Structure formats: C-alpha cells, structure tokens
Amino acid sequence: MSDTFSSQVIETTISRAIVENFSAKLLDNLTVDVAIVGGGPSALVAARYLAKKGVRVAIFERKLAPGGGTWGGGMLFNEVVVQDASLEILDEFGIHHKPIPGAPSYNTLDSVEMASGLIFGAVSAGAKIFNAVSVEDIVFRGEQVGGLVINWTPVERLGMHVDPLTVISQCVLDGTGHPSEIMHLAVEKAQLKLATSTGGILGEKPMWVDSGEASTVENTREYYPGLFACGMSANNVMGGYRMGPIFGGMMLSGRKAANLILKKLGK
C-alpha cells in the first residue's frame, strides 16, 4: 500500500467517524424528555440534575462555547461571586471556591473553572450539548409547547434561507439569559398567554443584587404548559432586578428548574 493511499484511508476514516457519530447523536436526540435552549450556568446546572435522574436532556447553544455569561467574570476580570447557599451545587460539580475575607456568606471563584466545570458536569451526567445551533422557533402541539425548531448558527448569522429541523420534547426550558428568546417567541409569535400578571413579559429592572438573586430563583417556573424558564430569562419574564457578576441565583435557579421538571415528568 502506498503512503498516498494509506493517508487517504485515514482521512476517510476520520471523516466517517465524525459524520456517523454526530448523526447518531443527533438522531438520538430528535426526541428527548427535556430540550433546553441556551447553555448558560442556570441551564447547565438544570441539565446535570435532570440527567442524573435518568431524564433524556439536550441543550442547544447558539455559540461554539457553552457557558453563557460565566466566562467573562465581572468586566472581563475572570472571577465571579457566589453566596454560601449555592456552594453545595459548586461542590456537586467539583468546582473550587474560597470565602471573601470580611464578607460573610460570599465567595469568589475562577470564572473559567466555573464555566468549564459546569459544562463537564452536565455532559458527564449524560446531557448532550449541541453547540453552534440556534433555536429559532417552538413546536406547539395540543395546547402545550412540545419542542424546538433548530438551525445552524452560521445559517442564522448569514441570513441564509435554509429550512430548519425540529426536536420534540415533553418540556422546553428557556435558558437564553437576558433576552428570554423563547418566551418572546411564545408571546409574540405563538400568541400564548404566560403565567404573568399581564400574560406577557414584564421586562428586567436595573441592578439590585439581593432582590435580583432572590427573584431569579422565585421566578423560575413553568410559564405555559411544557414551557419553563430559568436564570435571567425567568427574571426578565417576571420583571426582576439584575444582579451583576454574582452567580449563586443562576445555579439555584437551574436546580429549581430541574426539580420542577422532574415533578412534571413524575420522576
């Protein structure tokens, strides 16, 4: 066998392995129990707690790297702050943290360790992450939200006219952060009335750390049959305050979302 021929064979083997394995993974996730939009901290925490209970969960993340707003810390200083109440979640993921001297109940941690640790924690528990995939619509079936409409992010960004594919799920979790993209689709396109005072999205308020942290968890709910929101998306829907680079509420929100969904699924 010539060198030229064997290098062609290995090149084909590599390409075939990637195409076959990705196709199998996508096929396996065209129907899931829970489809999560966005791979920020709240969604990644939800995904791990769901997957650990044997729930079939897939995250669809627009960017190449999941982790959402975690990576950049505060103003690109790559440290974030969390409260004691969320430390057991960091410990569950094996992410290090240390107390802030003179600030009882507050801790700092490396935002890159946090982002990468949350991603690994979700994936190693069995959640699948599809990156560079944007969710452009929801599936609506029999008076409930029943899945997602997905397309490649480059297709979205280039404005190419390419029809999407669908993922069917029992529950959809909006983890899209500040823009609440899926809740906007639900209200503005599907004309659904959410479980808010107006039926619509109340809109995020300015910075108030303590209030925002508490309301992020409180506002984590099922807003329409089959449609849940967590993290900043939930806070935006219910008109909560923002909180800056403190992430305890995001993780507690993700764990609460997982528990609400587990209850809905009867697990």
Residues that bind ligand 48H (CB under 6 A): 37-43, 60-63, 68-70, 134-135, 175-178, 181, 231-233, 242-244, 247, 250
Return the number of the residue (34 or 243) whose C-beta is nearest ligand 48H.
243
Residues in the chain, total: 267
**Residues 239, 84: Cα–Cα separation, whole Å:** 25
Q: Output the smallest distance, CB 75 to ligand 48H, in A.
A: 11
**Residues 54, 187: Cα–Cα separation, whole Å:** 31
Return the number of the residue (62 or 128) whose C-beta is nearest ligand 48H.
62
- Helices then strands, counting H and E runs in the chain, come out as 9, 13
- The phi and psi torsions of 137 (rounded to 5 degrees) equal -165, 170
Q: Output the smallest distance, CB 71 to ligand 48H, in A.
A: 9
The DSSP annotation for 149-212 comes to EEEEHHHHHHT-----EEEEEEEEEE---TT-HHHHIIIIIS----SSSSSS----EEE-HHHH
Return the number of the residue (147 or 177) whose C-beta is nearest ligand 48H.
177
Q: Output the smallest distance, CB 264 to ligand 48H, in A.
A: 20
Return the number of the residue (58 or 194) whose C-beta is nearest ligand 48H.
58
Return the number of the residue (52 or 178) whose C-beta is nearest ligand 48H.
178
Q: Are 44 and 66 in contact (CB under 8 A)?
A: yes
Q: Output the smallest distance, CB 257 to ligand 48H, in A.
A: 10
Q: Output the smallest distance, CB 122 to ligand 48H, in A.
A: 12
